[in-house]
Structure 1
Amino acid sequence: MSARTATAAATALKPLKLITRMMPQRHLPAGRIPVLPGIRLPAPVGPLKGSSPDATLGRIGSLEVRLARTVGEVKRAQELRYQVFYEEMSAIADAKTLLTRRDADAFDAICDHILVLDHDAMETKPFGKSRPKIVGTYRVLRQSVADRFDGFYTANEYDLAPLFARKPDLEFLELGRSCVLPPYRTKRTVELLWHGIWTYVLRHRIDVMIGCASLEGTDPRRLALPLSFLHHTAGASAEWAVRALPGRYVDMNRMGKESLDMRQALHALPPLVKGYLRLGAMIGDGAVVDHQFGTTDVCVIMPVAQLSQRHVNYYGADAGRHAA
């Protein structure tokens, strides 16, 4: 997940619309694949290196969800992200991003990229053959891969080390950089995107999904209601506790539980966050303000074994609902 969420909606069992910004391009912690002049990034891991080119994750009608197969498809996903995050939403682009018109960072090279393609909307590149349009994307990073490159991007905001120390035998998956083009922000598209994630989780035997989700705005006082609601009703247990980094920590306990208007608080939450809560997600301790993207972020922890059985049954314990 990430620290920039641009939501137009999502629920878990019955997702509606979705634009999510989860891992924005910001400063990288020490040891994180630096982007320096003359330095080539490592070859992408996952579908671009050793995975089956037929790694389809699911279908609904003309829509297919699958992993990116080429570097070119990753670039097309980055172009989609730029269109949503920088042109439609409020992200601030640096000179390189403006020049390339792609939302890209060093982590793209080690992530898997889940794509939703519309086979009824074909594009023809100059002097090339037609190809289905990429209408949605999600970026995922497995811990077994992240450990080879010094960890997750979420560690830029939250101290994950104590959680990993308590759960050394579990495989974590970080979610981020998710977005859907405006005409495709429908239940069908987002449901297929989530089906792709669930299929990926099963194929790679993921134990825990983790990342950041965002609330619009950078003034925690104005977000006192939703932040306090999350603190009082969805705070992670000691077993799964994650805390914002010192110096970035923003107290979420801004209103007493007895003074919360629960209905109003739910209404104030981004649809994506409500979807995660329906799945059974927990929220880490402390929020983080991201001034570059105009958001306040919270850390989401979703152990697969604790996911809502209702939602697991909906997509299928074997991800068979929309299997190709």
Structure 2
Amino acid sequence: MMAFRKGRYEVGFAETAEEIREAQHLRWLCFIARGREDGDTGLLDADDYDDRCTHVLIRETGGRLVACFRMMTLEGGAQIGESYSARYYNLSRLRDFHGRMVEIGRFCIHPEIRDPDILRLAWGALARHVDAQGVAMLFGCSSFIGTDTRGYEDAFAMLRERHLAPKRWLPRVKAPQVFRFARVLRLRKPDPRRAMAAMPPLLRSYLAMGGWVSDHAVVDRQMDTLHVFTGLEIGAIPSTRAKLLRAAGA
């Protein structure tokens, strides 16, 4: 993916260790500090996957980092066990997936920024990468803030009703603590308005393009999140939406 500019933002890859640390600090602000600004840029969210990934940065034209995410490319399902997601989900069914896969992780937007164009630009960057690398599936963990399921019942009920993974790809339980929403909420009829209001923006984007999720959420107390495995087969994206994504990255 070549760097590109759109409006007041620039999108590109991290090319230095300093730029990766900058992304790790933004992740700390979003996932750990949860918006409590701190002048110490040494406070980082970092793990052993950072060295294996390509880091995408979205900056304001003046240079401030406003969003980031990381990507790890797999040549096919046989490598699924190497993914970050495989730490939390039994993904053995995806070993049979044929085609290049990219895991998307640690997506975050600066807590002071409220601009929907940033998410569109992130998807535009992904569209460029998908086209350039011949990617057949995007996947990752989509996170709900906090580990309390109260307030998310309609969102999880909608996931159960409309967006569960095909059985041939459905992740099985691996993490020690999970919320089996497909079982617990099997009789609940979701309220669409409340469901969508509680859905994380990135997950809403995945679902709008034909994405699917696991039938359970992992309770991740270290990150203070509930997350669901999320997959998106590129061939399932409606052509009209695919055109919009490519336009966002043009």
Shift of 1:257: 4.9
The amino acid that maps onto 1:198 is: A
What are the within-5 Å matches in structure 2 for residues 35-54 of structure 1? Answer: none
Superposed counterparts of 1:1-324, under 5 Å? 55-89=1-35, 100-119=42-61, 121=62, 132-144=63-75, 151-164=82-95, 166-167=96-97, 169-220=98-149, 223-245=152-174, 247-253=176-182, 254-257=184-187, 259-316=189-246, 320-323=247-250
Q: CA deviation at 1:282?
A: 0.6
Aligned mates of 1:99, 1:278 — CA distance in 2? 36
- Measure the CA separation in 1 of the matches of 2:108 and 2:29: 10
Q: Cα offset for 1:89?
A: 4.5
In 1, the alpha carbon distance for the partners of 2:73 and 2:204 equals: 24
Aligned partners of 2:241, 2:126: CA distance in 1, in Å? 13
Letter aligned with residue 30 of structure 2: V
- What secondary structure sits across from 1:236 in the alignment? coil
In structure 2, relative to structure 1, the CA distance for the partners of 1:186 and 1:289 (3 Å cut) is same
Gaps of 5+ in 2: none
> What's the secondary structure of 2:194's corresponding residue?
helix
Tell me, yes or no, if the aligned pair for 1:229 and 1:260 is still in contact at 8 Å.
yes
Q: Which amino acid aligns with 2:31?
A: F
- Following TM superposition, by how much is the alpha carbon of 1:173 offset from its aligned partner in structure 2, in angstroms? 0.9
- Which is further off, 105-114 or 280-289? 280-289
CA deviations on 1:272-296 (whole Å, 9 max, x unpaired) are 2222211111111211111223221
Aligned CA distance change for structure 1 residues 75 and 162 (closer, same or farther; 3 Å): same
Once the two structures are superposed, residues 130-171 of structure 1 have per-residue CA deviations (whole angstroms, 9 ceiling, x without a partner) of: xx332221111111499889600101111112212x21x211
CA 1:116–1:159 in 2, change beyond 3 Å: closer, same or farther?
Answer: same
Helix, strand or coil at the partner of 2:165: coil
SS in 2 for 1:139: strand
Paired amino acid for 1:77:
A
When structure 1 is superposed on structure 2, of 255-264 and 66-75 the one drifting more is 255-264
C-alpha contact 1:244 1:287 (8 A) present in aligned 2:
no
Runs of 4+ in structure 1 off by over 4 angstroms are 145-150
Structure 1 distance, partners of 2:80, 2:212, is: 27
Rounded Cα–Cα distance in structure 1 between residues aligned with 2:77 and 2:169: 20
Larger Rg, first or second structure (1 or 2): 1
Shift of 1:235: 0.7
TM-score, scaled relative to structure 1: 0.68
Distance in 2, Cα, partners of 1:82 & 1:115: 15
Higher relative contact order (CA 8 A, sep 6+): 1
SS at match of 2:159: helix
User: What SS is found at the alignment partner of 1:305?
Assistant: helix
Return the alpha-carbon distance in structure 2 between the equivalents of residues 66 and 265 of structure 1: 33
Q: Could you tell me which amino acid in structure 2 is paired with residue 162 of structure 1?
A: R
**Which residue in 2 is equivalent to 1:46?**
none
TM-score of the superposition, structure 2-length normalised?
0.86
